[in-house]
Every structure is written in structure tokens, then in C-alpha cells.
């Protein structure tokens, strides 16, 4: 295993103008990504080309400096490979030599050897760009799960790219402009967004599993990876064993680090599995959780959140004998972090769900540089309530966002286009279903469950991965997500729903796979989502912020949103869900607080 690079990349390739290496905007683009890579920075310039890099050193800090060069190729790379050693061995047998132990060198030489097909060999999370000096073309690539971001825009005969939107917005050719489509995405799908859509005008994001070339003829992209349905030949017992092997292997491959490493621990199934495997492999583990003062007092059990986490965290902490840190977030800090969360995401996000993650990452970074986290398990193993409720499952539309008519009340009628909000959302939904690969002859349940898995991977999970990447990297903390290993996802897609629904329980297969490894109390605990604050003073705090916005005679939010609808939101006693199980009235209010801050911060213009 080589070194991991949690970094930021940016740059441009222009055929219609000179790129001045001394240009202040290039420094600004690089500086915009400094939280992602506080340890080192580098740049490469050629005719019309600039490659910029920021690095967070985790392994082999002396090796792997970027941009890296080899035989007329230059690369900037962000991410980590889980199969570095296998690919290195292949290349050694083909006569390649290696100067260090970096993933970057393996990726660069694999590209030299295999060309664009190299990405199909990689198992990992990554975004990278390779510039070919002789042909003057740029190769761009993003990992299959979309864990690492890569935004880009075309301006004339040039392409400008970056790990985050803020890097692009530092370029003088890119203005903070949005369109009516942007408003539709932000209001009717937010905090999710259409795959590949960068919200800002003419800004796009490479899709997960996409790669391509930019040259004088323009940009040509292709999908090098997608989920393919295949026959399942494994019995349930074989599937449980293979699941345990795949998950354990994915976790172990991600425990390599020369800097302090820990895990997030909620007392739920996913984080407990990761923490247990890590503890066994390393001989001990440090764990971290988030909580809120008096949350037990105000907690309200419900269908989606049946119990709170603290008891189960204690069970796991004693089971592992882990050194546990409980990060307690009070309401003032959580409220204030709403703005830092927008700074990190460059967009309105998941309100306090983002803010609490950012504060958790910031506190964790004081002790650790690398953390393992449980994202993707619910999407792959069928953990969410909407997988299990036949009524919700049968609804034609995104199961986590069924309130489009309610959302539409907030946008001023002037900004409604010929396409109704319902039509806009439904088109995104049907476009996704049209791309689902299904074997012929599936019964209605199997067909629907595979559709659900793809919907969740391409939409809901992307929102969570955006959150995890931006909040952690803003804190210079590297967070690894073992359940996003493409081998796990590919295998689970082929399994029948009855396996995942074992014992009639959410993630039944995963529970069975780790029977005897986790305490039974944890193994069969009913799923509970990420902990949010239940304190009434949080609702009061965000409500006060929105009231101030409404009283501001120059509020950019009120140029777009309906004042009456926002005022009604402040007095609404209904718990109308905004997005999934975590965002209801307090988070909806906070979302509009973030929206107003975002409009001001970037001086957004609607065009």
C-alpha cells in the first residue's frame, strides 16, 4: 500500500490564450484549497497549461511530491488506491521502476502503461488529471463511487478544473452566476443536486465512474464504470461469508497510515463493525462520537429515530476498550457553524447535519489526522426506512424527498419556468431509472430494490459524500469510507433482496455476516440515523437568524424567496420533512439561513 493523498487539485488548459505562471488568480485558486492540503503545495506550467496541487501528508511525506512527472506526462492526484501494491507488481513485471512508495507514482505509470483504461483497474477513491505534453491534451478521471470531487467548466477554448467550487470561482473567467435551473435544484432537490450539475452557470462535475479527454477539439467523456446486474449463484450462507470478507478487507486496506488514526463511533452497526475490525487489526483504536448537551432530555423517539446513541456507544467503548472522545456541541457553536459549513461546501447544505460534522471533524483533528467512517452501508445493504416501507417504496419519486409542492411555496413565482417543480423533479427521477441495469425476468420486488439501490447511490449517498468530504477536508482531516469499496457495491447489487432483508431486519445480511464478532446488543440494534440536536433552543436560535434576514431591507434571499412562506415556516408546528429523516422544521429554517449567507458571500446573480 502506498501513501494516501488527501489533497486538493486545480488547474486549466487553454488553447485560446496564454497562461501566465505568475498570475495572481492561479495562486488564489491554489490557496482556496489550502485546508485540503495544508502541508505542501506544488505547480506545473506548460504552454497554456497549469496544474496546481495542495497536499495533506499522511504516509511517506518526503515522497510523492506533486505535480509528478514521467516520460512526457504530468499528474495532479487526490485520493487513495486500495490496490496499489497489486498494480505496482503488475507494472514491475512489465519493466517499470519506482522511485518511491506513492499512490501517485503508481497511478501515473499505470496511465503511461494502459492509457485511459488504467482507471478500470483502480480500486479506490480518487480524482486526478494527467497532462500529455506532446499531444497537449488533458485526461480527467473520477472514482466509481464519487467519493472525491472534480468540478470543471469550459470557457472559450479552455477548461478550468478544481476539487472544489471555490477554486473555480477564484478564476477571473468564472462569475458567481446561477440560472433558474440552479434555483430549481437548490429548492426542489437541495441539499441534493442533479448528478454532474455544479449549480453555478456552466459549471459541471465529473460523474462518478467517468473519465475523458480535453484537447483542441473539445471535451469527450465516457462512463468507464457503472453497476451491472449479474446472476447470483451464492447461497445466503456464502453471501454472508463473502460479505464479511469483503468488508473486513476493505477496512484493513484503509488502516495504513504513518499519522494518528481513529474511527467515528455512533454505536450503530456500521461504525461498530469498522471500529471492531480496526481494533483487532491494530491492537487498539481511538473512537470519536458527537453529542449535544441534555440531548437525552429532549430526545423524541420516532419511526426513523427509535433511540439515542449514548448507551450503545458505551457498550462498544467497553467492548473495544477504546480511548473514546465524546465531542459535545452546544447550540451557539452549532448555530455559528452553519456559516462555516457553507464556506466548506460552497453551497447551502444539510444545515446542522453539516455543521455538526464540521465541528466533529475539527475537534477530532486535534488528536487524529485520519478517521474511518461508515458512509455507504445503508445505501448498499438496504438500511434506510424507505427501503423497507412498501408504501414509501412504491411511491413514484425520490423516497427521501416527497414534499415538492411544499418546497415550491418558497420560490417567488417570477422564477418558476414552464417546467413545474414536480415535472423537474420527476424528470430527474425517471432519467436515473432509465439508466438502471437490470437482468431480464426479475420480479417486481427485485426490480424495485435494484432501482432503489441505484437511486440511493447516485443521489442520497452523493449528498452525504459531499458533506463528509467538504466538512472533513475543511478541517484538514482525512476521512476514509470503507463501505464505498467498489467490490462491495458490485457484489451487493447482484444479491436478492431476501438476503439483505434477512430476519426481516434492515441490513440483515450485514448483521448475520458479523455475528459472533460484535456484541449482540449492537448487532441487532434497530437502525438510528446520524445524531442531531433535539434542543428547543436550537430552533429558537435559527429562527432568530431567519427573522433577522426577513427584517433586512437588502436581503438577497427575499429577492428570490416568498416572504409569506418564510414567515409561515417560522410559526409552523408541523414537522414537514425537507430531506430524508434528519431535516425537518429546524433544519429547513437553517437551510434558508445558509441560503441567505451563500447569496451574500458569493454575491450571487441570477441570469
Residues 453 and 229: beta-carbon distance below 8 Å: no
DSSP symbol at 507:
T
How many CB atoms are located within 10 Å of the residue 546 CB? 22
Give the number of other CB atoms < 10 A from CB of residue 388: 16
Query: Which three three-digit cell numbers place residue 542?
Result: 435559527
For residues 331 and 541, the answer to whether their CB atoms sit within 8 Å is yes
**What residues are paired with 324 via a beta bridge?**
287
User: Which residue in this structure is represented by grid cell 438510528?
Assistant: 528
CA distance 60 to 48: 32
- Kind plus residue range of the DSSP H or E element containing 69: strand 68-70
What are the catalytic residues?
A: 7
Q: Helices (H), strands (E): how many in the chain?
A: 26, 19
The torsion region of residue 35 among left (phi > 0), alpha (psi -120 to 50) and beta comes to alpha
Interhelix angle 461-474/352-365, nearest 10 degrees: 40
Reported as type and span, the H/E element at residue 245 is helix 236-253
* Cβ-proximal residues to 306 (8 Å cutoff; 6+ apart), any chain: 526, 528
Dist CA 429 CA 53 (whole Å): 36
Q: How far apart are the first and last CA of the chain?
A: 48
Q: In degrees rounded to 5, what are phi and psi of residue 25?
A: -70, -30
Work out the number of other CB atoms within 10 angstroms of the CB of residue 22.
Answer: 7
Q: To which residue does cell 470557457 refer?
A: 155
Q: Which residues contact 11 (CB under 8 A, 6 or more apart)?
A: 29, 49, 50, 51, 52, 76, 129, 160, 161, 162
Residue 526 to residue 269: CA distance in whole angstroms: 9
Quote the cell numbers at residue 326: 465524546
Q: Please tell me the distance from the alpha carbon of residue 153 to that of residue 588, in angstroms, as a whole number.
A: 31
Amino acid at each position: 500500500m502506498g501513501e494516501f493523498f488527501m489533497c486538493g487539485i486545480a488547474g486549466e488548459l487553454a488553447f485560446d490564450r496564454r497562461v501566465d505562471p505568475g498570475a495572481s488568480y492561479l495562486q488564489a485558486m491554489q490557496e482556496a484549497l489550502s485546508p485540503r492540503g495544508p502541508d505542501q503545495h506544488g505547480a506545473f506550467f506548460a504552454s497554456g497549461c497549469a496544474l496546481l496541487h495542495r497536499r495533506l501528508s499522511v504516509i511517506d511525506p518526503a515522497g510523492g511530491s506533486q505535480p509528478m512527472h514521467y516520460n512526457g506526462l504530468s499528474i495532479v492526484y487526490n485520493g487513495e488506491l486500495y490496490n496499489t501494491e497489486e498494480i505496482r507488481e503488475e507494472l514491475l513485471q512489465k519493466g517499470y521502476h519506482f522511485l518511491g512508495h506513492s499512490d501517485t507514482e503508481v497511478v501515473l505509470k499505470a496511465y503511461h502503461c494502459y492509457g485511459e483504461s488504467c482507471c478500470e483497474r483502480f480500486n479506490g477513491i480518487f480524482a486526478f488529471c494527467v497532462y500529455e505534453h506532446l499531444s497537449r491534451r488533458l485526461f480527467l478521471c473520477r472514482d466509481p463511487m464519487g467519493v472525491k470531487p472534480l468540478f470543471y467548466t469550459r470557457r472559450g477554448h479552455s477548461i478550468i478544473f478544481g476539487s472544489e467550487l471555490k477554486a473555480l470561482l477564484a478564476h477571473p473567467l468564472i462569475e458567481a452566476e446561477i440560472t433558474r435551473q440552479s434555483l430549481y435544484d437548490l429548492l426542489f432537490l437541495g441539499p441534493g443536486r442533479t448528478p454532474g450539475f455544479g449549480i453555478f452557470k456552466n459549471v459541471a462535475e465529473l460523474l462518478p465512474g467517468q473519465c475523458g479527454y480535453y484537447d483542441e477539439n473539445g471535451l469527450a467523456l465516457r462512463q468507464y464504470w457503472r453497476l451491472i446486474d449479474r446472476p447470483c449463484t451464492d447461497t445466503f450462507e456464502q453471501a454472508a461469508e463473502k460479505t464479511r470478507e469483503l468488508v473486513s478487507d476493505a477496512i484493513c486496506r484503509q488502516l495504513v497510515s504513518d499519522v494518528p488514526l481513529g474511527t467515528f463511533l455512533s454505536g450503530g452497526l456500521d461504525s461498530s463493525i469498522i471500529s471492531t475490525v480496526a481494533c483487532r487489526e491494530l491492537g487498539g483504536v481511538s473512537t470519536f462520537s458527537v453529542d449535544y448537551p441534555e440531548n437525552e432530555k429532549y430526545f423524541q423517539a420516532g419511526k426513523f429515530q427509535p433511540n439515542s446513541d449514548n448507551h450503545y456507544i458505551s457498550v462498544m467503548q467497553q467492548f473495544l476498550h477504546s480511548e473514546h472522545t465524546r465531542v459535545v456541541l452546544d447550540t451557539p457553536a452549532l448555530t455559528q457553524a452553519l456559516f462555516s459549513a457553507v464556506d466548506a461546501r460552497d453551497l447551502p447544505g444539510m444545515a446542522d447535519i453539516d455543521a455538526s460534522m464540521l465541528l466533529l471533524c475539527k475537534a477530532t483533528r486535534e488528536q487524529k489526522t485520519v478517521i474511518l467512517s461508515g458512509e455507504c452501508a445503508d445505501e448498499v445493504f438496504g438500511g434506510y426506512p424507505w427501503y423497507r416501507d412498501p408504501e414509501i417504496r412504491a411511491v413514484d419519486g425520490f423516497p427521501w424527498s416527497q414534499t415538492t409542492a411544499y418546497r415550491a411555496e418558497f420560490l417567488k413565482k417570477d422564477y418558476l419556468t414552464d417546467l413545474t417543480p414536480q415535472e423537474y423533479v420527476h424528470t430527474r427521477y425517471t432519467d436515473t431509472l432509465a439508466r438502471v441495469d437490470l437482468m431480464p425476468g426479475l420480479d417486481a420486488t427485485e426490480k424495485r430494490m435494484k432501482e432503489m439501490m441505484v437511486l440511493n447511490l447516485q443521489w442520497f449517498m452523493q449528498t452525504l459524500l459531499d458533506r463528509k468530504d467538504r466538512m472533513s477536508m475543511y478541517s484538514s482531516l482525512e476521512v476514509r469510507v470503507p463501505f464505498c469499496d467498489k467490490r462491495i457495491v458490485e457484489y451487493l447489487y447482484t444479491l436478492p433482496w431476501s438476503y439483505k432483508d434477512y430476519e426481516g431486519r434492515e441490513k440483515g445480511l450485514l448483521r448475520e455476516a458479523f455475528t459472533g464478532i460484535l456484541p449482540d446488543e449492537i448487532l441487532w440494534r434497530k437502525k438510528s440515523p446520524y445524531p442531531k440536536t433535539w434542543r428547543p433552543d436550537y430552533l429558537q436560535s435559527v429562527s432568530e437568524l431567519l427573522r433577522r434576514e426577513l427584517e433586512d431591507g437588502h436581503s438577497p434571499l427575499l429577492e428570490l424567496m416568498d416572504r409569506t412562506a418564510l414567515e409561515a415556516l417560522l410559526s409552523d408546528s408541523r414537522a414537514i420533512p425537507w430531506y430524508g429523516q434528519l431535516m425537518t422544521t429546524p433544519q429547513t429554517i437553517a437551510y434558508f439561513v445558509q441560503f441567505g449567507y451563500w447569496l451574500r458571500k458569493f454575491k450571487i446573480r441570477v441570469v
